[in-house]
Structure 1
Amino acid sequence: MSGFGRSIVVGGCGAVGGMFADLLREAGSQTLVVDIAPPPEERTSCLVADITAPGPELSAAVAGADLVVLAVHEAVALKAVAPVTRLMRPGALLADTLSVRTAMVEELAAQAPGIQHVGLNPMFAPAAGMAGRPVAAVVTRDGPGVTALLRLIERRNGRLVRLTAEEHDRTAATTQALTHAVIVSFGLALDRLGVDVRTLTATAPPPHLTLLTLLARVLGGSADVYGDIQRSNPHAAAARRALADALRAFDSLIGDDDSDGGHRRVEGLDAAFGRLRRLMGPELGPYQDRCHELFRTIHHTNDEGETDR
């Protein structure tokens, strides 16, 4: 059993909300999906309502729930904190799925400092499934409900990574905002170069094919979602500046001055590689092995493949 007799998932018609609604239902919780604009085919299976201004039916549901999950945009979630927590019964749990934590922590401190709360950020596309994949968990106020929900995720084989709000946002600025900036910038560079992608795919070594694959994956998503990740994380701008600075630093290492036969440039690039190898530390070898397996997959080959291009 889930430990939650009655639960509500706001935004449960979306991918992330739907994943948590399924998780709770499969664990035996009577789960109500609430959405302000559900798809036509789901209107009869959910409560169409605004969580920031709950009417009588939604208010009664919230008052009787053991768990309320806010799987909505950050602006909506923050606006919902005050009306929702005023309705929740003592001992009930509030959870959210925001990709940025610090603003929610501040809102809870101002509006509902006594409420049990945990923020859950699935660090994967919901369609991929939870098993074996990381779920960042930020506990604002612990309690039996928090323990029960985290155990439920672990029973689904989700890999919990517990962080503070500050650790979460700094980490997400690197794992999400920086990564997406690299991939989209790579695509924008291709567009500026005026290349033919069919020619690229016919001639490209595995590293380039991997980047094209990542670009295709990002382009299959919503620009609004990727934009929100960049705009809402307070550390994302610093991550993008670090990327721009790193590209300029790389350009200076390559340079175009051959007055010394290029020796200083080679030494500078060697030094940079040394720093990066030290940064990777003991993870360097295992990730080289992972890359080898990835390249075998992406090139559909069993040979050794490319190693240096």
Structure 2
Amino acid sequence: MSGPDAGGAVAGRRVVLLGADGTVGRWYRTHLLAGADTVTTAGLGAGADHRGDARTPGAGLREAVAAADEVVLALPEDVAAACLGWLAGCTGPGTVVVSTCSVQLPLFEAASQRGLRAPLRGVNPMFSPTLPSAGQSVVVIAPDGEADAHVRRTRTRLEAGSMTVSVMDPAGHDAAMSVLQALPHAAVLSFVDALLAAPVDVPTLMRIAPPPARTLVALACRILAAPPEIYWDIQRANALGGERRKELSSSLLRLDALVEADRADDFRAALASAARGLGPYAAEGAEECRELFELIQRRRTARRSAGGGAPG
């Protein structure tokens, strides 16, 4: 596999990128592959070197994988898992397989069960790859943490792009994702479901919606504008997602009980406890929210000045 050449320089790696035509695949190629790397692409798009379903590779793709230093699975969770069988037959311990899945532990477990000898690593950008990457957070997943050479190289390239890198093991990653992805997405989807069931039409609601409501609607619209498979995987594939949804449901029931029993003092105590739990971020988050609401107001004012007005 690739290493220093006769002059001491590091030669480019041979990389196979499965799912190269997706947004995550394009992001990975831009930020984690070097100009000296030889990249072989596979995907459903017409521009792929190997066009077709990654779960049923042809001989050419298998040969490319067998010769690769790195194989990237920029694929949905179920597709990536379905590829492990044939990857186990093509790769050896000298190849690194990288998953970009939102949920990682099931893939690591399946890789072990299916006899994948190649070390498996993960990279999860904590933002939509359609957004600018500078200043964003990325999680790198590896059982051995910082001791892993691939992790160190990945961190170096991401930090060179002004991204913040955290290294986690698969179980720790999925536990964090259940809180940071499955939980807020469930809350937002539940909110928009309740909003659409309300006895007031959407145009009327949006004309008078205050910033908190508009922010929640905007978050819901962000989800609705993306492929449903992304958010289905986040909810379904994370084994801890069900616990987070139950906790969300229990929180709503506790709030309802406080209101029904007219327990204002307990409500105030619950808010004070939440503020203490958030620690220094309670003040920082309030300032971030103020800036966000000001941005929403500026956009609405500019739209009305231009003769537009709120939707509806």
Shared fold (TM-score, shorter chain, > 0.5): yes
Instruction: Verify: 1:82 aligned to 2:117, yes or no.
Output: no
Q: 2:72 — aligned with what?
A: 69
Check whether the contact 1:2–1:24 (CA below 8 A) recurs between aligned residues.
no
Q: 2:253 — aligned with what?
A: 248
Q: 2:100 — aligned with what?
A: 97
Distance 2:165 2:292 in 1: 25
Kindly report which structure 2 residues correspond to 1:133-148, keeping only aligned pairs within 5 A, or say none. 133-140=136-143, 143-148=148-153
**Equivalent in 110, 129, 136 of residue 126 of structure 1:** 129
Alpha-carbon spacing, 1:51–1:276, altered in 2? closer, same or farther (3 Å): same
Instruction: Verify: 1:32 aligned to 2:32, yes or no.
Output: no
Q: 2:207 — aligned with what?
A: 202
Instruction: Verify: 1:278 aligned to 2:276, yes or no.
Output: yes
**Equivalent in 177, 185, 188 of residue 180 of structure 1:** 185
The SS at the match of 1:121 is: strand
Check whether the contact 1:70–1:77 (CA below 8 A) recurs between aligned residues.
yes
Equivalent residue letter for 2:41: V
Equivalent residue letter for 1:78: A
List per-residue Cα deviations over 1:27-51 (Å, max 9, x = no partner): 432211101x32xxxx144311443
Q: Once structures 1 and 2 are overlaid, which stretch shifts more, 50-59 or 233-242?
A: 50-59
Q: Once structures 1 and 2 are overlaid, which stretch shifts more, 215-224 or 93-102?
A: 215-224
The SS at the match of 2:55 is: coil
Q: 2:110 — aligned with what?
A: 107
Alpha-carbon spacing, 1:27–1:60, altered in 2? closer, same or farther (3 Å): same
List per-residue Cα deviations over 1:179-212 (Å, max 9, x = no partner): 1111111111111113223222322221111112
Q: 1:159 — aligned with what?
A: 164
Distance 2:77 2:10 in 1: 26
Alpha-carbon spacing, 1:217–1:114, altered in 2? closer, same or farther (3 Å): same
Alpha-carbon spacing, 1:227–1:113, altered in 2? closer, same or farther (3 Å): closer
Kindly report which structure 2 residues correspond to 1:32-71, keeping only aligned pairs within 5 A, or say none. 32-35=40-43, 37-38=44-45, 43-71=46-74
Alpha-carbon deviation of 1:24? 4.6
Equivalent residue letter for 1:275: S
Distance 2:33 2:116 in 1: 29
Check whether the contact 1:253–1:268 (CA below 8 A) recurs between aligned residues.
yes
Distance 2:88 2:31 in 1: 23
Alpha-carbon deviation of 1:140? 3.3
Alpha-carbon spacing, 1:2–1:227, altered in 2? closer, same or farther (3 Å): farther
List per-residue Cα deviations over 1:144-172 (Å, max 9, x = no partner): 33332332222222221211212111111
Equivalent residue letter for 2:85: A
Distance 1:158 1:122 in 2: 10
The SS at the match of 1:127 is: coil
Alpha-carbon spacing, 1:244–1:284, altered in 2? closer, same or farther (3 Å): same
Alpha-carbon deviation of 1:25? 5.1
Q: 1:305 — aligned with what?
A: none
Where does structure 2 lack aligned partners over 5 or more consecutive residues?
1-8, 300-312
The SS at the match of 1:118 is: strand
Distance 1:9 1:2 in 2: 21
Alpha-carbon spacing, 1:194–1:227, altered in 2? closer, same or farther (3 Å): farther
Instruction: Verify: 1:225 aligned to 2:223, yes or no.
Output: no
Alpha-carbon spacing, 1:77–1:99, altered in 2? closer, same or farther (3 Å): same
Give the superposed CA RMSD: 2.2
Check whether the contact 1:116–1:146 (CA below 8 A) recurs between aligned residues.
no
Alpha-carbon spacing, 1:111–1:98, altered in 2? closer, same or farther (3 Å): same
